[in-house]
Chains A and B, each alone.
Chain A
């Protein structure tokens, strides 16, 4: 692969991820609307919101770290997109792997923690403490699942994993070969998305959207962009690990949206857990399922 081709892929992959993410946000809001018997937002609503937020005339910066925090939050996911193979494009996936990806998708939370810290808003600090607690909760099962999947495929390189699954059709998909791990991963991904009942760190009625409390204008716009990336990343990691990755774009898109639709259809009928309950639930069920799945994989 020559340099120009690689650079094009590095630029195009985040853009594609962002576009898909916009439609995932739309789908999420539409599902919420349908559950609540509403019409829901129009097709381009996520885009209107982002353009509007970036077009704000005055901004409230709380200092340099506040600015850098948002850049880290978006940049961490942009880096993650270049490591996730999509049909026709591998980016730098060959040079990275599941472990590198697990590290990179922690950067946004840490960036947000830095940025929110400088806002000096108590709601924001509570929110970010809860966000990091939630990260602690879902990363334990996530690491167990990564271990099990890497053991099974004999590699943590995503290109190898996709090739391994696509060798024999649906029968060789991760979800068919290790169903227990796949269920644990779905649970872990649900917690990672931070939707109800795991919505402890947003909690609009309780801590006024937590980390987002001091974010307005371009800052909130950055977080809206981050949300698009987050939905795509979570879904794409799951599809790559368990659903055979992307053979071609139509199938890949169907899988991506279906995987996001599962937690979203459940989310909006739940209220919110308390922080300690999130830890209790996530450290109990996905961790137990994950360990059982690893045991099954190793025997």
Chain B
């Protein structure tokens, strides 16, 4: 288990404690505590590691006593668990899922395959290091890690969240160009997701030095503009049988 200290992350400056406004820090600490004690996880079960999660959730190890529960949609979830090897095709779905989650959000890579490709090292179709494409907060290595190891990793993540150290989700906004570059290298130049990360970074004031760069410029060239989904009730749009008289 590694907390990824060696990866350069643009750190988020904490509000200084000595300004006299005690209440602001009290609220921040309360929120950090509640965030650490209530984690909804979306398990994207890509590989064999998924089999270790049911025992971790059910009566033998019971994650709910730590406030960790499974959720079924990315909108509701805080943690994205990637449990195994990530093929190129799967990675696209993982990135779409990750971008739909609400921040603060955390990514956990379970199993050796997410760390370095594991036994799929020589595969042409597998993404080797998950943290090239997404900001991973915690790796739980092993092939496969036992439920004890999964829970240990989650507890370490809770500890990091409580201390305010686990904010790699900001890194995705601040170094979007880096992540997008790696994604483009794998998926081709016209790779585009339906979530407007740059727009979100602007809106929530999360722009960093590397949010924009050559890769986002490339994205803008190929991008089809994001439009709101239009709901139409036009009868002409309904599928019509071929033999049906119009």
Contacts and interface: CB of A to CB of B under 8 A. Distances in A.
B59 A48 contact: no
Interface residues of B, number: 29
Given A48-B34, A52-B38, A216-B76, A38 B65 contact: yes
Contacts of A215: 75-76
A116 to B, nearest CB: 12
Given A42-B67, A208-B72, A52 B102 contact: no
Contacts of B210: none
A24 B207 CA distance: 42
Nearest to A38: B62
Determine chain A's interface SS by DSSP, over half rule: loop
Interface in B183-200: 200
Determine chain B's interface SS by DSSP, over half rule: loop
Contacts of A58: 102-103, 200, 204
A204 interface: yes
A51 interface: yes
Contact of B75 (A40, A204, A216): A216
B35 interface: yes
Contact of B64 (A40, A47, A216): A40
Contacts of A48: 33-34, 37-38, 67
A212 B76 CA distance: 8
A26 to B, nearest CB: 12
A208 B72 CA distance: 6
A15 to B, nearest CB: 19
Interface string B26-50: 0000110111011000000000000
A57 interface: yes
Interface string A35-78: 01111111001011101100111111000000000000000000
A232 to B, nearest CB: 21
B213 to A, nearest CB: 22
Interface in B169-222: 200, 204
Contacts of B124: none
Contacts of A55: 31, 34-35
A57 B30 contact: no
A30 to B, nearest CB: 10
Q: How large is the interface on A (under 10, 10 to 19, 20 to 34, 35 or more residues)?
A: 20 to 34
A49 B38 contact: yes
Contacts of B104: 56-57
Contact of A38 (B35, B59, B101): B59
Contacts of B231: 120
Contacts, number: 91
Contacts of A47: 34
A205 B72 contact: yes
Contacts of A217: 75, 102
B25 interface: no
Contact of B102 (A45, A204, A216): A216
A209 B62 contact: no
A59 B102 contact: yes
B2 interface: no
Contacts of A42: 37, 65, 67
A214 interface: yes
Contacts of A40: 62, 64-65
Interface of A: 29, 33, 36-42, 45, 47-49, 51-52, 55-60, 120, 204-205, 208-209, 212-217, 220
6 A-B pairs closest in CB distance: A216-B75, A55-B31, A51-B34, A48-B38, A38-B62, A52-B38
26 contacts: A29-B64, A38-B65, A42-B37, A45-B67, A48-B34, A48-B37, A48-B38, A48-B67, A49-B67, A51-B31, A52-B31, A52-B38, A52-B78, A56-B102, A56-B103, A56-B104, A58-B200, A59-B102, A60-B100, A60-B102, A120-B231, A214-B75, A215-B76, A216-B76, A216-B102, A220-B75
Given A45-B67, A48-B67, A120-B229, 9 more contacts: A29-B64, A40-B62, A42-B67, A47-B34, A56-B103, A209-B71, A213-B73, A216-B101, A220-B75
